[in-house]
Structure 1
Amino acid sequence: MNDLAFSTEIRVVKKDDLPADAQQFAAIPADLERPAFSLAYSSLVAVYDYAHADGSIAFVVARFQTSRGKTYMQYTAWQLADGQRVWAAAGYSAQRPLYNLPALEQSSEKPVLLVEGEKCVDASQQWARFAVTTWAGGANGMSRTDFTPLSQREVIICPDDDEPGHQAGNWLADHLVGLGARVMIFDTAQLAEAFAGNPHSGFDIADAIDAGLHEGQFAAMVANSAVCTKYAGNDIAELASENDDEITPQRQVYQEIEAAFGIAPDVHERFDLSVDGVTTWKTDKKGALVRIFVSSPLVVLGRTRLSGPRGGWGYHIGLRNCLGQWETLTIPAKLLANDGKELRELLAEAGAITPQEFTGRRALMEYISYAQNCPVITLASRPGWLGDEFALPNAIISPGDGENGPSLTLDMGGRDHLLNRNGTLEEWQELAALAAPNTRATFALCCAFAPPMLRHLKMKGGGFHFFGNSSRGKTTLLRLAGSVWGGGGEEGFVRNWNNTSNGAEGMIADHNDLLLPLDELTVAAPELASQLIYMLANGQGKGRARKDGSAAERNSWNALVLSSGEKTAAQQITQGRHRSQMTGGLAVRMVDIPIEHAPGETIEDTCGLGSSRAWVEKVKCLTDDHYGLAGPAFVETLCVERSAHIAQARRYIERVQEMLFENGDDPQVQRAAERFALVAAAGQLASDWGIIPISHAQILRAIAACVNGGAILGHGSDGIVLSRAA
């Protein structure tokens, strides 16, 4: 407590009279003279300095006596825009330091006596056995106080003997245990019985000292478990011991979050998180603490920033649904504005339970917005590469070890993506084994591994189109290739050519760095088919304008399409009233491949199943159950020593190009050759890495068959020597 004689010339302004641009001092300047603190119709009783650990003063609390009892005011120092420094009757905006903090820090070996009010600190701090402290602002100030200096220390909470005091003691115990403190609660009611004949409500340790309590008596009562009991509410430190297997609601949810997301939740001290949900406290009109429901279990995993030049901020949320399962959701930060209705709707739709009471709704937005110290995560709106990481809805594939948490997440806005997983990679490889002796099936499978390599090889996308009569297994081969990345749709991972221009553009963007299997080119309008083939290969969508007339950011992608239809792409584009011209550029972007290796035959080897029809039915059945595993496994391996793997891919591509074509061939033919060689290289890498049970020789045979009907001139030191294209 300081000398009460202050200058009467220093101005004190009201909080509402501070200019909007006024800046509060984190520490009151040492040369700033103090005013004569006053309050109408009251007398000044005491002034208490709240200092940082270094001794600098953060704010001042003045205690006044009125006709109705005691009251407190906080005073802080402010810098105005014109350089003037003033005092204001306004609260400290940052986290408040504990009272008597410098002395508390210097006595780290002593147990801490946490009392309610500065008067109690001043009365008991003469005791040598304890370090004594309190907080500013009563029940309302607890959540705004930095209690971390009490982390890992032994703390004895000595609350006032009334209902608000008991509520405060329980809140403090919960909070301090979460910080790792060893907590005991002193029964002040027994202190009142021993040192006051007729104790009043709110009896505190200062009253007991005035009545004759001395340090030795208090220490003896602390040692008595009937008077001072170890807190066991959410005692995380105690539960961590090897001999204690009790799982509290709080410990359970922390364990679940660490298991689901690999991080320990960072929950703001104003809030409590358990399997029962997120809660906080408020003070009612009578001064009693009341628990407020904020939401079902929910944790902020990171701050998100949308990739691209106009990226906006948001929050990556983990939430626990009613089935006890943890799911993720990304919400734009703008949803925290106004009354948060859209935020609650989004959370409710995702399976969270949100508050109906106004205080809880406001607390929900505060709970999310207070999470400012969590990792910053780049938010991708489509799959594929972003920097060194590869985004998928169910995984972020990174070359790092992930110790610092994810740096990228994918939010496709609820769009249907079919990038699902089922079964195991070993089970899927049984499906891939059916493709090995069959050229079209092997080629289709190898196509699926090529798209993630386009960006790193600086190659453009394009497509291959299987054509032939119906019931030849074209859709089945697309299902087989699609199973590398996903499934779960009516035809597995396969999409349909029947689309609008805008819809098709969005679909392509959602297959960035992935295979896009497109069935039934026959249903596409010739003009639209022509436009989409160009867009696929050029990697960009249409240019569009925003409402203000400025150019909107174009969709872009790296995509490889595997298409099917009864007619060739050339026939489809040049037929009908709205036909388009089939240029060489279109032909090289979408290369036609006959589905039949011989008249009426698509499958060379039925793998012991007896007939091509049985082979097709078997593949359909397996692709219903096993999908979405091989593609991520391929990218995971590619991420490790990626430069070396890409260099190996280039060597494979060069060798296959030399086998297929000569330098004198037409440039457009060479472009097609490069894409065939890319498919071969992708398959060879997948074979090298044990992802597909298909040999290099089988892969090169499939490439040759799809280039020119499978003519093989002979065998060289590197395996099969392919003939040149006709």
Structure 2
Amino acid sequence: MNKNKMFPKRTSHTTSRQGTDPEQPDIFTQANDLALRNMDNFVDWLGLETQHQGKEIQFLNPKREDDNFGSASINSETGIWADFAEGDAAKGADCVSFVAYLRDLSQMEAANLIIEDFTGSTPPTTPTAQQAPKDEGTRLHPIPANAPPVPESFYNKMGSPSMTFTYKNTEGNTLGHILRFDLPSGEKTIRPLTLWDVNGTIQWKMKGFPVPHPLYNLDQLAARPDDPVLVVEGEKSADAARSLFPNYVVTTAMHGAKSVDKADLSPLLGREVLIWPDNDEAGHGYASKIGQTLLEQDSLANVRVLKQLAYLPELGEDGQLKPQTEALPQGFDAADAVQMGWTAELLAFIPPDELSEVVTSEKDQLNEYRSGNFVINDTGVFAIKQKNGDEVLVRICSRLDIVALSRDSNNANWGLLTKFKDHDGHLHEKAIPKELLSGTGEAYRQVLLNSGLDIDMKQKDSLTMYFMEAQPESRVLCVNTIGWHNNVFVLPSKTFGQNDQRVILQTPDIDRTSSFGIRGELAEWQQFIGMKCIGNSRLILAVCIALTGPFLKVLSVENGGFHFRGQSSSGKTKALSVAASIWGGKGMVRSWRTTGNAIESLAVEHNDTVLCLDELGQVLPSEAGDIAYTLGNGQSKSRANRFGHAKPTGKWRLLFISTGEIGLGDHMAANGGQVRAGQEIRLLDIPSDASSGMGIFENIHQADTAQQFADSLQTMVETYHGTVGAALLDLITQPYELDRAAYFIDESATSFVSSYVPNNAHGQICRAAMRFGVVAGVGEYCIEKGLLPWHAGDATHAVSLCFSAWLETRGGNVAAEEVRALAQVREYIERNGESRFTLMQQGIEDNTGDRTERNQDD
């Protein structure tokens, strides 16, 4: 980066307050206090490149050629500052003198500038010693659509900005702006511009964005979730790079190299990332910091860095690019490349391996190292053993790095996070609980072998010792279930959201194959599956149910299920497969044919997502009701361990979808049982027949038959799956988005209940309707965010049809106990007829010969 001076140095500068107006001392106090309360924004406002060292904020002095941190700093709590490279000429006791030094102003001018420019307010005309600091107001983030324009007088001191870069959130709403000013001296300065509400007055201020800073072009990152990302340094370069890399989403961290640690990089996780650093030391540091940060969050991250361009944007007679004979200038960036004549077509001439290189973690860059009595290098892990008084290396396995120790939030369940490559070069990451190292160790070795690690079985005990002796410095937090853990969402292969340390899934059942997975792109799921749901109320309901799991916690919604009941081959299982495609492939569809104990394990495995159970008739009638209760309760039975103590109980939050030819009540009645209201309300019985003559379908989208449509759906869900769930988690783990989503869904659910539930309905109806309403609200939210390819209102309409079908099948708005009592009376009359009853005819008093008699058995 070019370290030109931002402000010219004037000989009239002074860092003391001698000569200032003694009648206005409070302006200085007010200005200093305002700066100290907002130090991060204060140094951003000054356009300084900074790094934090405890209470000290080190900065690169723009008034001299300062390339290294360390010589200049300001205390974030006191405002005392100094540049030791310039001696006594550059030091001061507060933030006012700091601004006076940097801007070559008097103390009074500096104090007024802080109050007017930094805070966006006006200094008091008659200050008093008791006057309180001004209320800074509330930052409006995002900026409302009816925000006032920036007044022309706002830029009087700086002149109009030469460039304006607008930052938006994932929905495309404006968060604020970054302004570039070209000063008369030929220098430039960068200022943030945000909107504030100060005691009811809406006004623009040159104040910074909240930390963590959003990335540039967040709306494009959200709109193109499957495209690779190009990270450059600076908004100007980002805008220029779009023409060079049209297939990439281009972004940058706000304030470039100096503020990477303040940027929210979570939108880059799980994506292919290419970094284009400026051609200078700070630029390469910027690229390294972004790359290492992403690899710390996800060791499998695909991060590459653009090499320094070795060609000219010119083609020789041989049709090849001409070599670059002169070194690129300091600070060369994407904007310079466009000006030089580079185009996307010319860049395509450069071989990929010459254009960029893979970024590896700092640990991986160490090819050989020692861990206890073991040596690890690219050829394997070797035990150091003694032979005839000499040390010899005995190979125990192919290269296996132990990158971190894991433990849970209670500092228990310790384990080891390992990383290795298989024979095809694919990287594997396995969390090995330490408890598996006890005994023979066969369980963990089977998993490693199955994943492609070579193990010399003669040295299997040495491999266990290698694990036992490992003491990596890094720590990760482990959890034993998928789902929400504080502000992150954990799936078997990926963690979504940001935490102060990495979170991984670690369970003793490491050999269990996960049914979660991703195949294809989100746009493909939307085209080949999502679009086929349009006009099919049961399919839309199934998709919305599958998407509701991650919202149960924030909405405080109870567990529950939906049961599609209907004849065989009516398409019920296809609806289940469509729901499963939100999170994974056909392995997500499980069978009802299980025991109560096994169902608890399945529920834990699908925590905060969805559980799909096919064919209710395969489970014993005596087990069916208990399973419905168990899934609805969200907690396993208490059991004792071998010492007689209570084992930890499994817990889960989920909605489940079930299919069957009969409902829960009929299934239990077949064995002489009787369904209870609590069981029925936990599993809502919906007729799968949509009354269109095509089973569960109402619209087969130009297919010849319903069977052909069902078969094509099954093929598509096996080909494209998991992308919608991943996209949803990427979205709702963004700062504040889950709360916004919860508010939207709650409002939608409340509206659903008020629209479709009669005023005299029993509480059981309202309870069920709220579950339908939440599911509809989730669908509408996902439509609004572009995850589902439907029109607004489609989810609510489809769910309301299913709710009406449930209500009609149930028998009315009264309590389930009354419905069943009336049904029993009706069934008794229909079964016995005149053998037990006689018609009463008005006016006939003598019913001689009637057949009504008391049955002693009744």
Same fold flag (TM > 0.5): yes
1:390 corresponding residue in structure 2: 489
Do the aligned residues in 2 keep the contact of 1:335 with 1:343 (CA within 8 Å)? Answer: yes
What SS does the corresponding residue of 1:508 show, helix, strand or coil? helix
Structure 1 residues 344 and 572, CA gap change in structure 2 (3 angstroms): closer
Do the aligned residues in 2 keep the contact of 1:540 with 1:554 (CA within 8 Å)? Answer: yes
Structure 1 residues 262 and 280, CA gap change in structure 2 (3 angstroms): closer
2:597 corresponding residue in structure 1: 502
What SS does the corresponding residue of 1:258 show, helix, strand or coil? coil
Look up the equivalent residue of 1:295 and give its one-letter code.
Answer: C
Do the aligned residues in 2 keep the contact of 1:439 with 1:703 (CA within 8 Å)? Answer: yes
1:679 lines up with 2:769 in the alignment:
no
1:568 lines up with 2:663 in the alignment:
yes
1:276 lines up with 2:375 in the alignment:
no
Counterparts of 2:441 and 2:805 in 1: how far apart (Å)?
Answer: 63
Number of paired residues?
453
- 1:605-620 to structure 2, matched below 5 A, reads 605-620=699-714
What SS does the corresponding residue of 1:585 show, helix, strand or coil? helix
CA drift of 1:258 comes to: 3.3
Counterparts of 2:623 and 2:369 in 1: how far apart (Å)?
Answer: 54
From 299, 308, 312, the counterpart of 2:401? 299
Do the aligned residues in 2 keep the contact of 1:701 with 1:710 (CA within 8 Å)? Answer: no
Do the aligned residues in 2 keep the contact of 1:268 with 1:367 (CA within 8 Å)? Answer: no
Deviation string 1:395-448 (CA, Å, 9 cap, x unpaired) is 111245xxx762233445322431122111111111111002211111111111
Counterparts of 1:396 and 1:488 in 2: how far apart (Å)?
Answer: 22
CA drift of 1:564 comes to: 0.8
Do the aligned residues in 2 keep the contact of 1:262 with 1:405 (CA within 8 Å)? Answer: no
Counterparts of 2:540 and 2:606 in 1: how far apart (Å)?
Answer: 21
2:766 corresponding residue in structure 1: 670
1:650 corresponding residue in structure 2: 746
Deviation string 1:607-642 (CA, Å, 9 cap, x unpaired) is 222332222122111112111111121122111122
Deviation string 1:90-122 (CA, Å, 9 cap, x unpaired) is xxxxxxxxxxxxxxxxxxxxxxxxxxxxxxxxx
Structure 1 residues 575 and 332, CA gap change in structure 2 (3 angstroms): same
Gapped runs of 5+ residues in structure 1?
1-239, 245-254, 712-723
1:313 lines up with 2:414 in the alignment:
yes
Counterparts of 2:442 and 2:547 in 1: how far apart (Å)?
Answer: 44
Structure 1 residues 479 and 262, CA gap change in structure 2 (3 angstroms): farther
What SS does the corresponding residue of 2:416 show, helix, strand or coil? strand
Counterparts of 1:704 and 1:242 in 2: how far apart (Å)?
Answer: 59
Deviation string 1:524-549 (CA, Å, 9 cap, x unpaired) is 22221100101111101111011111
Structure 1 residues 283 and 506, CA gap change in structure 2 (3 angstroms): closer
What SS does the corresponding residue of 1:450 show, helix, strand or coil? helix
Larger Rg belongs to: 1
1:407 lines up with 2:407 in the alignment:
no
Deviation string 1:15-72 (CA, Å, 9 cap, x unpaired) is xxxxxxxxxxxxxxxxxxxxxxxxxxxxxxxxxxxxxxxxxxxxxxxxxxxxxxxxxx
What SS does the corresponding residue of 1:623 show, helix, strand or coil? helix
Counterparts of 2:711 and 2:761 in 1: how far apart (Å)?
Answer: 41
CA drift of 1:695 comes to: 2.0
Deviation string 1:456-481 (CA, Å, 9 cap, x unpaired) is 11111110111111121100111011
CA drift of 1:566 comes to: 1.1
Counterparts of 2:647 and 2:365 in 1: how far apart (Å)?
Answer: 39
Structure 1 residues 269 and 633, CA gap change in structure 2 (3 angstroms): same
Structure 1 residues 659 and 497, CA gap change in structure 2 (3 angstroms): same
1:483 corresponding residue in structure 2: 581
CA drift of 1:372 comes to: 3.3
Counterparts of 2:358 and 2:398 in 1: how far apart (Å)?
Answer: 14
Look up the equivalent residue of 1:690 and give its one-letter code.
Answer: G
From 537, 548, 553, the counterpart of 1:450? 548
1:427 corresponding residue in structure 2: 524
- 1:525-564 to structure 2, matched below 5 A, reads 525-564=620-659
1:472 corresponding residue in structure 2: 570
1:522 lines up with 2:617 in the alignment:
yes
CA drift of 1:293 comes to: 2.2
From 319, 325, 330, the counterpart of 2:431? 330
Counterparts of 2:780 and 2:380 in 1: how far apart (Å)?
Answer: 51
Counterparts of 2:633 and 2:367 in 1: how far apart (Å)?
Answer: 45
What SS does the corresponding residue of 1:618 show, helix, strand or coil? helix
Look up the equivalent residue of 1:674 and give its one-letter code.
Answer: M
Structure 1 residues 450 and 293, CA gap change in structure 2 (3 angstroms): same
Structure 1 residues 532 and 335, CA gap change in structure 2 (3 angstroms): closer
Do the aligned residues in 1 keep the contact of 2:420 with 2:453 (CA within 8 Å)? Answer: yes
1:27 corresponding residue in structure 2: none
Counterparts of 1:266 and 1:389 in 2: how far apart (Å)?
Answer: 33
What SS does the corresponding residue of 1:562 show, helix, strand or coil? strand
Gapped runs of 5+ residues in structure 2?
1-305, 311-356, 815-858
Counterparts of 2:619 and 2:447 in 1: how far apart (Å)?
Answer: 36
Counterparts of 1:357 and 1:526 in 2: how far apart (Å)?
Answer: 52
Counterparts of 2:555 and 2:603 in 1: how far apart (Å)?
Answer: 20
Structure 1 residues 374 and 546, CA gap change in structure 2 (3 angstroms): same
Counterparts of 1:621 and 1:339 in 2: how far apart (Å)?
Answer: 43
Look up the equivalent residue of 1:408 and give its one-letter code.
Answer: I
Deviation string 1:270-310 (CA, Å, 9 cap, x unpaired) is 555443223465565355x5333242111113212256x69
What SS does the corresponding residue of 2:419 show, helix, strand or coil? strand
| Superposition RMSD in Å | 3.3
Look up the equivalent residue of 1:480 and give its one-letter code.
Answer: V
Counterparts of 1:367 and 1:524 in 2: how far apart (Å)?
Answer: 43
Do the aligned residues in 2 keep the contact of 1:708 with 1:725 (CA within 8 Å)? Answer: no
Do the aligned residues in 2 keep the contact of 1:440 with 1:595 (CA within 8 Å)? Answer: yes
What SS does the corresponding residue of 2:490 show, helix, strand or coil? strand
- 1:18-33 to structure 2, matched below 5 A, reads none
Do the aligned residues in 2 keep the contact of 1:339 with 1:362 (CA within 8 Å)? Answer: no
What SS does the corresponding residue of 1:593 show, helix, strand or coil? strand
Deviation string 1:489-539 (CA, Å, 9 cap, x unpaired) is 3xxx21111112211221122111111111111122222110010111110
Counterparts of 1:512 and 1:658 in 2: how far apart (Å)?
Answer: 30
Look up the equivalent residue of 1:322 and give its one-letter code.
Answer: H
Counterparts of 2:788 and 2:747 in 1: how far apart (Å)?
Answer: 20
1:370 lines up with 2:370 in the alignment:
no
Counterparts of 1:526 and 1:697 in 2: how far apart (Å)?
Answer: 39
Counterparts of 1:567 and 1:340 in 2: how far apart (Å)?
Answer: 47
Look up the equivalent residue of 1:325 and give its one-letter code.
Answer: H
Deviation string 1:676-723 (CA, Å, 9 cap, x unpaired) is 011101111111111110123211111111011499xxxxxxxxxxxx
CA drift of 1:391 comes to: 1.6
Do the aligned residues in 2 keep the contact of 1:630 with 1:691 (CA within 8 Å)? Answer: yes
- 1:581-600 to structure 2, matched below 5 A, reads 581-598=674-691, 600=693
CA drift of 1:657 comes to: 1.7
Report the TM-score, using the length of structure 2 for normalisation: 0.49
Deviation string 1:567-608 (CA, Å, 9 cap, x unpaired) is 1222112223xx322121111111111112216333222222
Counterparts of 1:324 and 1:623 in 2: how far apart (Å)?
Answer: 29
Do the aligned residues in 2 keep the contact of 1:462 with 1:559 (CA within 8 Å)? Answer: yes
- 1:167-178 to structure 2, matched below 5 A, reads none
What SS does the corresponding residue of 2:656 show, helix, strand or coil? strand
Deviation string 1:133-187 (CA, Å, 9 cap, x unpaired) is xxxxxxxxxxxxxxxxxxxxxxxxxxxxxxxxxxxxxxxxxxxxxxxxxxxxxxx
Look up the equivalent residue of 2:517 and give its one-letter code.
Answer: N
